[in-house]
């Protein structure tokens, strides 16, 4: 039987699309509305900021099918691209970061980056990441209680790791932390975000010139003295690709580290298992990634042809969003998905996306989160939230979910 075109859900008095994004009520769980949407078995029509409509794909099998189909387009220049932030589509269409490209352009740029994030290359970074985490734990402990686990630890760890990988000098770290905090904060105005991004690109532009004259053992140096020098990428495109790598490498870890720490404190039996057997940490990180799914709505797509799913078809020309948190909490794929179980054997979650756009930096992300959490709990065994988790200020950009701050004591 040919799958049908999805119908808008019955929302009571009217069939108006559901407003999206939908807020989480708990930092450890997807929005409550995702479960009934998934149970209906067909995509749900939603209204996204800016007046467009799009489809939400929620089931685990459907999300993987929708993200791996050849007609799944990430190109932000498409009129139906379901952007979630003010000006997001215009910026992405102008800058063309590789996550908003389709093959063959996406393939060409991704190939320039993927060698930096292999398992072997990332494994060689472990010692350096451990040193960074130990330094930042000492900084956290030097702060008056309650300290902020986001600003005083997670942000400093994630910023230092990605800047060291790219070759951003240490003297620029505080500058980078400031501009990324502004660009990622829910309270920032469009003007403030624009100014922060302009400062970021000014920094990268200066580094390109410096690395051309005096290259180092870092990603920017290799891109400048390789693909850029050979004419395989323009300077404008290189600025964009470095910018998205900096931002993505910083944002996901910055939000995962404090959320995962709180999740483990909220599940002390799981934390006890890790303290008894540290070899469980790699599997625990994958379970935390699944459970929290902070990059829930980064998978914005357009169907360039009809995309068949199990119970329906996404029509050609329509925008859609494959919800990673909804897929990662599908009970058909993950029994009792609301619980945190570090002994789960599955590593087939979609926290890093799926298909050709699956996160290029996932190996680094896993290692960074693992080391940051392990060092934190080893050095601060009495860590505890200073306020109830339900009172913490939730933070949501157009792509990444997290917390504004996490006051902690010990």
Q: Is 39 a catalytic residue?
A: no
Contacts for 216 with CB less than 8 Å, ≥ 6 apart: 167
CA distance 279 to 204: 38
Active-site pick, 74, 196, 237, 251: 251
Active-site pick, 116, 368, 370, 405: 368
Q: Is 312 a catalytic residue?
A: no
Q: Is 253 a catalytic residue?
A: yes
Element of type H or E holding 220: helix 219-223
The pair phi, psi for residue 42, each rounded to 5°, is: -130, 155
Cβ atoms of 358 and 352 within 8 Å: the answer is yes
Active-site pick, 253, 293, 396, 397: 253
CA distance 292 to 287: 9
Cβ atoms of 145 and 386 within 8 Å: the answer is yes
CA distance 162 to 252: 11
At 182, is the secondary structure helix, strand, or coil? helix
* CA nearest neighbour of 294 among 212, 388, 396: 396
Bond into 21 cis (ω within 30) = yes
CA distance 255 to 294: 7
CA distance 195 to 293: 29
CA distance 314 to 391: 39
Q: Is 133 a catalytic residue?
A: no
CA distance 192 to 183: 7
Q: Is 359 a catalytic residue?
A: yes
Active-site pick, 248, 295, 325, 326: 248
Contacts for 317 with CB less than 8 Å, ≥ 6 apart: 80, 302, 303, 304
Active-site pick, 76, 196, 261, 359: 359
Cβ atoms of 98 and 244 within 8 Å: the answer is yes
The pair phi, psi for residue 311, each rounded to 5°, is: -115, 0
Cβ atoms of 57 and 323 within 8 Å: the answer is yes
Catalytic annotation, residues: 248, 251, 253, 359, 368
């Amino acid at each position: 039987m040919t799958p049908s075109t999805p119908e808008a859900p019955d929302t009571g008095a009217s069939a108006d699309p559901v407003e999206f994004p939908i807020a989480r009520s708990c930092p450890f769980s997807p929005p409550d509305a995702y479960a009934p949407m998934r149970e209906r078995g067909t995509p749900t029509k939603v209204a996204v900021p800016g007046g467009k409509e799009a489809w939400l794909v929620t089931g685990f099998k459907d999300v993987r099918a929708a993200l791996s189909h050849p007609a799944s387009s990430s190109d932000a220049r498409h009129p139906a691209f379901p952007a979630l932030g003010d000006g997001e589509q215009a910026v992405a269409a102008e800058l063309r970061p590789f996550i908003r490209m389709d093959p063959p352009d996406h393939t060409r740029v991704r190939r320039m980056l993927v060698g930096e994030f292999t398992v072997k290359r990332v494994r060689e970074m472990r010692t350096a990441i451990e040193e960074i985490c130990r330094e930042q734990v000492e900084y956290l402990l030097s702060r008056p209680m309650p300290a902020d686990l986001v600003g005083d630890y997670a942000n400093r760890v994630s910023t230092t790791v990605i800047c060291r990988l790219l070759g951003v000098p240490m003297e620029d770290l505080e500058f980078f932390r400031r501009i990324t905090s502004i660009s990622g904060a829910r309270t920032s105005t469009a003007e403030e975000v624009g100014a922060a991004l302009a400062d970021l690109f000014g920094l990268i532009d200066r580094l390109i010139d410096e690395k051309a004259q005096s290259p180092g053992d870092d990603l920017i140096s290799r891109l400048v003295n390789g693909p850029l020098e050979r004419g395989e990428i323009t300077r404008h495109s290189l600025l964009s690709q470095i910018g998205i790598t900096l931002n993505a490498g910083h944002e996901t870890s910055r939000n995962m580290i404090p959320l995962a720490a709180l999740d483990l404190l909220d599940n002390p039996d799981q934390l006890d298992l890790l303290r008894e057997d540290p070899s469980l940490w790699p599997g625990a990180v994958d379970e935390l990634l699944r459970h929290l799914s902070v990059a829930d709505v980064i998978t914005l797509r357009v169907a360039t042809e009809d995309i068949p799913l199990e119970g329906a078809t996404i029509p050609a020309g329509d925008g859609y969003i494959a919800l990673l948190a909804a897929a990662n909490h599908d009970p058909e794929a993950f029994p009792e998905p609301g619980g945190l179980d570090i002994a789960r054997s599955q590593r087939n979650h979609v926290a890093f996306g799926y298909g050709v756009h699956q996160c290029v930096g996932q190996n680094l992300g896993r290692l960074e989160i693992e080391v940051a959490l392990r060092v934190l709990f080893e050095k601060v065994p009495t860590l505890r939230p200073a306020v109830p988790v339900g009172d913490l200020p939730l933070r949501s950009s157009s792509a990444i979910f997290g917390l504004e701050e996490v006051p902690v004591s010990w």
